[in-house]
Amino acid sequence: MKPLPTVQVVAGLSSILGGGATLAAVCLALWLTGDGVPRGIVGAGVFGAGLSVGAALALAGRFARRGEQRLDSLAADIERHKADNLELPVLVDGSDSVAMTRLVRSVESLWTAAAEQISDLRSRGEVLQSLLESSPSGILVTGPAGKIRYLNATFEALVRLRVDPVGHLPIEAVRVAEVQTVVDRALAGQPSTDVPCVADPYELLLQAAPLADGGALVLAQDMTRFRLAERARTDFVANVSHELRTPLTAILGFAETLVEDRDRLPADAHPLLDRIYRNARRLRDLFEDLLTLSRIEARRGELPIVPQQLRPILAEALASAADLAHERRQSFELRCKRSLMAPVNPEALSTIVSNLVMNACHYTPEGGAITVSVAQMDTEVRIDVVDDGIGIDPTHHQRIFERFYRVDEGRSRRKGGTGLGLAIVKHMAMASGARITLTSTHGMGSTFSLHIPR
């Protein structure tokens, strides 16, 4: 049923109210002037006043109820549309009062603004979600209590999930101990970088950081292919070096024979023969070094380590460079107590020290001094190879142990090095559980230190 228009209702009621009020006013006037009021009129006056009050109350109640109903229906409309979608619902009603219409318009404009913002946020969320899902890194996010909130498809592919991850601790769902460890650290405010771990059959590298809300973020990179490629590279280099060495041995052998019989060759062939012989020897050294490196890499951490007297090993290593030092009029000094023992692999230590000493001879001017000294500390034994040569600028320290890295290309070639000496030193040190460091300033000599844990 269509409700009566408000204007008609108001007009009708005011006429009833107005009539009753007039009758009551006449009775009151007659009584005040003392003229006496006829009984019938008094009755009519009382009735009129009662009618007016009653009608006023009824009208107010009806308005209040109607306003309440309208607000209820408005709320229901909003609720219904909120669940469906963000489209603006038809809220306005032709029978609304001015104030109600204004309220409805305000709600509509609020609705439109909110809908725009929500849709904007949704599309941003979708973009972010697809970015996270398509990321080549595994991503895991936990809340402040350490329970997983989000885990992307990449992470899921890298680990064997045992339960629906959301709401579980990482260790319950992901079963990689290191993931739980880095999450625990991040929850305590500590980031983690490059933590290697195995999620059989994958090899992962983890990074983790605390989040602003107190949770943790973990990134996992799949290193499996990288490691396989690394292994393939090592195998390839070893095989190629081995295969090339055989024909090279023939070249070197025949060149040697010719050098011995050089007098039988025409004089203009001599410099050519020298170059063939020199370069063939360089190639042989290079292949030997490459093979040595491949062998160390393949056997990483396998070198047997036993307590040894250091002095005889170091003396032998120094002796291997004695000819070169003599040629360059350089002096050697070995500072090591006879009784000093340390857990080392003798072959590795000898290779490391002789490589370092040879290097020192090459890069120390004629007449310079090279010292090998051993210091015994609480946690390690340190062997220093010290020279007073040209030194190495700190900008090169980071890369000097890389294969084929040269501080001065031209000079290194003239010295006839293979560019692999320090790489061999580094890998030998790692394979025998030690580490190598360098202290040097350009023009002030160098100190290579081998740190052997006790």
Partner 1 sequence: MTDVQEIAQLRTALLQMWVRAENMVRQAVRSVMERDAQMGRAVIAMDEDVDSMEVELDRRCLSILARGTHDAEQLRFVTAVMKMVTDLERIGDLAVNVSERGFDLVIGRGVEPSPDLAIMGDLVADMVRDAADAFVARDAVAALELRERDKDVDAMNRAAFAQGLAILSAHPDQADRALSLTNISKHLERIGDHAVSLAEMVFFVVDGTDVRHRPSPVV
Q: Catalog residues that contact partner 1 under the rule CB under 8 A.
A: 162-163, 168-169, 171-172, 175-177, 180-181, 184, 198, 200-201, 298, 300-302
Q: Whose Cβ is closer to partner 1: residue 163's or residue 250's?
A: 163
Q: Whose Cβ is closer to partner 1: residue 124's or residue 162's?
A: 162
Minimum CB–partner distance for residue 344 and partner 1 (Å):
19
Minimum CB–partner distance for residue 453 and partner 1 (Å):
15
Buried b / exposed e across 317-342, counting CB within 10 Å, b at 16+? bbeebeeebeeeebebeeebeeeeeb
Minimum CB–partner distance for residue 200 and partner 1 (Å):
5
Buried b / exposed e across 376-399, counting CB within 10 Å, b at 16+? eeeebbbbbbbbbbbbbeeeeeee
Do strands 138-142 and 216-222 pair parallel, antiparallel, or not at all (unpaired)? antiparallel
Minimum CB–partner distance for residue 427 and partner 1 (Å):
14
138-142: strand order across its sheet: 148-151, 138-142, 216-222, 202-210, 192-199
Phi, psi angles (nearest 5°) of residue 13 = -65, -40
Minimum CB–partner distance for residue 289 and partner 1 (Å):
22
Structure tokens at 364: 């120390």
Residue 423 burial (C-beta neighbours within 10 Å; 0-12, 13-18, 19+): buried
Q: Whose Cβ is closer to partner 1: residue 164's or residue 408's?
A: 164
Minimum CB–partner distance for residue 238 and partner 1 (Å):
15
Kindly report whether the peptide bond that precedes residue 247 is cis, defined as omega within 30 degrees of 0: no
Q: How far apart are the first and last CA of the chain?
A: 99
Q: Whose Cβ is closer to partner 1: residue 169's or residue 400's?
A: 169
Minimum CB–partner distance for residue 293 and partner 1 (Å):
16
Q: Whose Cβ is closer to partner 1: residue 28's or residue 163's?
A: 163
Q: How many helices (H) and strands (E) are present in the chain, helices listed first?
A: 13, 12
Distance CA 350, CA 343 (A): 13
Minimum CB–partner distance for residue 422 and partner 1 (Å):
24
Q: Whose Cβ is closer to partner 1: residue 66's or residue 175's?
A: 175
Q: Whose Cβ is closer to partner 1: residue 179's or residue 425's?
A: 179
Minimum CB–partner distance for residue 175 and partner 1 (Å):
5
| Residue 308: strand pairing partners | 342
Q: Whose Cβ is closer to partner 1: residue 40's or residue 201's?
A: 201
Distance CA 241, CA 214 (A): 54
Minimum CB–partner distance for residue 236 and partner 1 (Å):
17
Q: Whose Cβ is closer to partner 1: residue 183's or residue 356's?
A: 183
DSSP labels for 324-361?
HHHHTT-EEEEE--TT-EEEE-HHHHHHHHHHHHHHHH
Distance CA 159, CA 172 (A): 12
* Residues 6 or more apart whose Cβ sits within 8 Å of residue 454: 342, 343, 377, 378, 379, 380, 381
| Residue 451: strand pairing partners | 382, 435
Q: Whose Cβ is closer to partner 1: residue 146's or residue 417's?
A: 146
